[in-house]
Amino acid sequence: MSSQDDSGAQFRLDGRASVVTGGGSGIGRAIALRFAAAGSTVNILDLNLADAAATARLIEQNGGQASAFACDVADLSNVHKTFAGIFDKGRVEILVNNAGVSHVGNVESTTEADFDRILRVNVKGYFHCIQASVGHMKANGGGVILNLASIAATAGLADRFAYSASKGAVVAMTYSVAKDYLQHHIRCNCISPARVHTPFVDGYLQKNYPGREAEMFDKLSKTQPMGRMGEPHEVAALAHFLCSDEAGFITGSDYPLDGGFLRLHG
C-alpha cells in the first residue's frame, strides 16, 4: 500500500497556518476548533475581539495554537494591515472566508443602506481577504481558499433578496479565483449550507418571535427535508476535508450542505 493509504495520517493540517474570518462564533468558531485539532495554527479574525479571543482560548486549552485579531473585513486597509502582521510571523496556507451578515427583505423592502451593508461585508469582505492573501500564497508555492456561500445563491428563498445576491457573488468569485490561480497551485472552493443552528438563528428568533422561539425553531427546522437544521461542526467537517491534501484534486466547486434542500425539497 502507498503512503496515501495510511488512514492514520489523513486529513492532518500539521505545520500549516490558517486564517478563519468570523471565527469568534458559530460556523467560524467550529471551523477554527476543527482545524486546530487537526494540527493547524489558527489565526482567528472577528469584528469582536473578545469573541475571537474566546475561540483562541478554547483552542489553547485543548493543546492547540491560535491567535486572535480584531478585524473588520469590510475595511480594506484594516484587512491588509491585519494580514501583513500575520504574514510577518510566517507562511499562511489556508484562508477561510466566513465572516458575513444576513438580511431579511424583498427588493421593495430592502433599502439602499441595507443592500450596501450586505455587499460591503459579504462580497467586498471576501474580496479584501482574498486580495490580501493570493500574492502571499503565490510567493510561497500555493494554498487553499475556502468561501462560505449559501443555498440562497442558487435557490429562490423568500425575503432574502440582498443576502441571496451577495452569496451568488461569492459562488461566482470562487469560480473566478479557482480559474485564475490554478497555475499558482491555489485551490478555491465554496460551501453552500442551508439553515445552520448558530447564535444568529437564536438571536433572530428571540427578536422576531418572543415567547414562540421553540415553536418557530421547529418550524424552520422542518423546512429542510431531513427535518432539522445543520450544525456548525458539520460545516467544519466539510471545510476540514476541502482544505486538506485529500481534497487536492478539487477546485472551482460549490458544495451544498443542505439536508437535501436543493434536490429533495417539496
163 is catalytic: yes
**Distant-in-sequence, close-in-space partners of 248: CB < 8 Å, separation ≥ 6:** 187
12-194+237-254 adopts what CATH topology? Rossmann fold (3.40.50)
Bridge partners of 193? Answer: 257
DSSP 59-101: HHHTT--EEEEE--TT-HHHHHHHHHHHHHTS---EEEE----
Q: Which of 126-130, 199-203, 209-213 has the weakest average pLDDT?
A: 199-203
Compute the residue count for the chain. 266
What ranges make up the beta strands (E) of the chain? 17-21, 41-46, 66-70, 94-97, 143-148, 186-193, 254-257
Residue % of the chain over a pLDDT of 70: 96
H/E stretch holding 201? helix 199-208
Q: What is the DSSP letter of 227?
A: S
pLDDT in tens, 160-191: 999 999 999 999 999 999 999 999 999 999 99
CB 127 within 8 A of CB 75: no
pLDDT in tens, 150-161: 999 999 999 999
Domain boundaries, the chain: 12-194+237-254, 197-229
Cell numbers at 135, concatenated? 500574492
Question: Which of the following is catalytic: 126, 163, 181, 255?
Answer: 163
Under the banding of pLDDT at 50, 70 and 90, the label for residue 105 is very high
